[in-house]
């Protein structure tokens, strides 16, 4: 993106929050807006074209998640809605009094609060895989915490606040041994490399479109078709029914059963364009680029006076949280913004993670496929000047 911020070229390091969009996505959404029509219900040409583009996006999402079928792809507004859908349909049917739901200490609020609500409603127990001092999941606790009362295991593929890559496959293997369902929050996983559903061993996989270079208000729930078939609808309305009578209704098969009403048609078409763009770029290339940037950034930022990393996971995606001396992260974020550098500050919707590390907030730099080494250098320089401006420095700590 060619843009000046405060008179300086923009360096965008907030991709974990939302990604910038490639031109093909902007063009796809503009075309869809220019020829607006509803889907599935019309026989006129505009409706047919909109339906084909919308369902084409479903096929693209299935290709992205190797091994998925289009009829296993449910469109939602994002990971938050996807997790609420699963908690209120599959979870509500699966979890009863005295049962247990397992999450990790890394979870985004979108994969924590819905399960807290369900457990409170059902009289179930929410159990948490703890974090070690590096910010990795304490895998040794899995055998202790997964037992005969475990019904659902819902874990992030990667942390949005520390960058930690979670050993999903190992957790899933234990969960499967006791017959639990495995749900993966892939919001930060799908954007940083290829997804292998079989290798993960999950039953459901959820992600947001706006982190995958697509529009906001879009997302995907993938589920094994047999499980989707067994789930009741979550919302009622048009397009999710085969027949409606005054005394009841007959519901459609998945995925349409879970897509009541007029969806975000333009957004989903844009998501399809983003997925095709990402597939053409190459998820493996994206992963290699991400790993190289992380290694470079850790080296460069460690030299910034007063900078302290929060978390040091053994394997991470392109997300780095840090503090700068005694300064509040919001002040740090404001200072570097005046240098044209956009980072995130706050608790990143992971307050339990902040509590684990004894902080209320961090500054966070996160990378996308468009991030360069020069961007990291600009961040480091901006942080050095911010440290001098704000004070509260100290020795850099890796």
Which positions are catalytic? 349
CB burial readout 200-222, b (16+ within 10 A) else e: bbbbbbbbbbbbbbbbbbbbbbb
The answer to whether the beta carbons of residues 340 and 8 sit under 8 Å apart is: yes
Nearest to 326 by CA among 343, 311, 305: 305
With 0-12 / 13-18 / 19 or more C-beta atoms within 10 angstroms meaning exposed / middle / buried, residue 41 is: exposed
Examine residue 206 and say whether the peptide bond preceding it is cis (omega within 30 degrees of 0): no
For 66-135, the DSSP string reads: ET--GGGEEEESSHHHHHHHHIIIIIHHH--TT-EEEEETT--GGGTHHHHHHHHHHT-EEEEE-B-TTS
Three-state DSSP at 336 gives: helix
- 12: β partners: 342
**CA count, 13 A, side-chain hemisphere, 297:** 29
Q: What span, in angstroms and rounded, lies between the C-alpha atoms of 250 and 227?
A: 18
Q: What span, in angstroms and rounded, lies between the C-alpha atoms of 177 and 21?
A: 41
CB burial readout 120-150, b (16+ within 10 A) else e: eebebebbbbebeeebbbeeebbeebbeebb
- 397: β partners: 308
271 to each of 45, 212, 283, how far by Cα in Å?
Answer: 22, 8, 16
CA 232 to chain centroid, in Å, comes to 25
């Amino acid at each position: 993106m060619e843009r000046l911020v405060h008179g300086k070229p923009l360096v965008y390091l907030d991709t974990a929050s939302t990604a910038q969009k490639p031109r093909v996505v902007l063009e796809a959404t503009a075309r869809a807006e220019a020829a607006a029509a509803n889907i599935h219900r019309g026989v006129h040409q505009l409706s047919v074209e909109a339906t084909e583009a919308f369902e084409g996006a479903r096929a693209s999402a299935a290709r992205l998640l190797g091994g998925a079928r289009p009829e296993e792809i449910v469109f939602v507004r994002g990971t938050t809605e996807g997790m609420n859908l699963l908690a209120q349909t599959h979870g509500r049917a699966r979890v009863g009094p005295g049962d247990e739901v397992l999450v990790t200490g890394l979870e985004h609020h979108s994969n924590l609060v819905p399960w807290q609500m369900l457990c409170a409603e059902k009289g179930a127990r929410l159990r948490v895989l703890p974090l070690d001092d590096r910010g990795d999941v304490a895998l040794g606790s899995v055998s202790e915490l997964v037992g005969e009362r475990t019904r659902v295991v819902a874990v992030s593929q990667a942390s949005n606040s520390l960058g930690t890559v979670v050993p999903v496959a190992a957790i899933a293997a234990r969960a499967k041994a006791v017959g639990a369902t495995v749900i993966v929050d892939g919001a930060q996983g799908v954007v940083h490399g290829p997804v292998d559903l079989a290798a993960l061993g999950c039953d459901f996989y959820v992600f947001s479109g706006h982190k995958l270079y697509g529009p906001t208000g879009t997302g995907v729930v993938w589920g094994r078709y047999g499980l989707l078939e067994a789930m009741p609808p979550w919302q009622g309305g048009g397009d999710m029914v085969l027949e409606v009578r005054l005394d009841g209704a007959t519901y459609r098969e998945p995925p349409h059963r879970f897509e009541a009403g007029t969806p975000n048609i333009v957004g989903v078409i844009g998501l399809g364009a983003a997925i095709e763009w990402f597939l053409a770029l190459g998820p493996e290339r994206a992963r290699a680029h991400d790993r190289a940037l992380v290694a470079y950034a850790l080296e460069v930022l460690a030299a910034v006076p007063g900078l302290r990393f929060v978390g040091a996971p053994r394997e991470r995606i392109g997300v780095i949280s840090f503090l700068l001396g005694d300064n509040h992260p919001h002040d740090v974020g404001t200072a570097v913004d005046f240098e044209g550098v956009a980072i995130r500050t706050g608790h990143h919707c992971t307050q339990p993670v902040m509590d684990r590390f004894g902080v209320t907030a961090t500054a966070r730099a996160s990378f996308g496929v468009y991030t360069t080494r020069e961007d990291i250098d600009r961040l480091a320089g901006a942080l050095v000047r911010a440290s001098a401006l704000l004070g509260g420095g100290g020795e850099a700590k890796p």
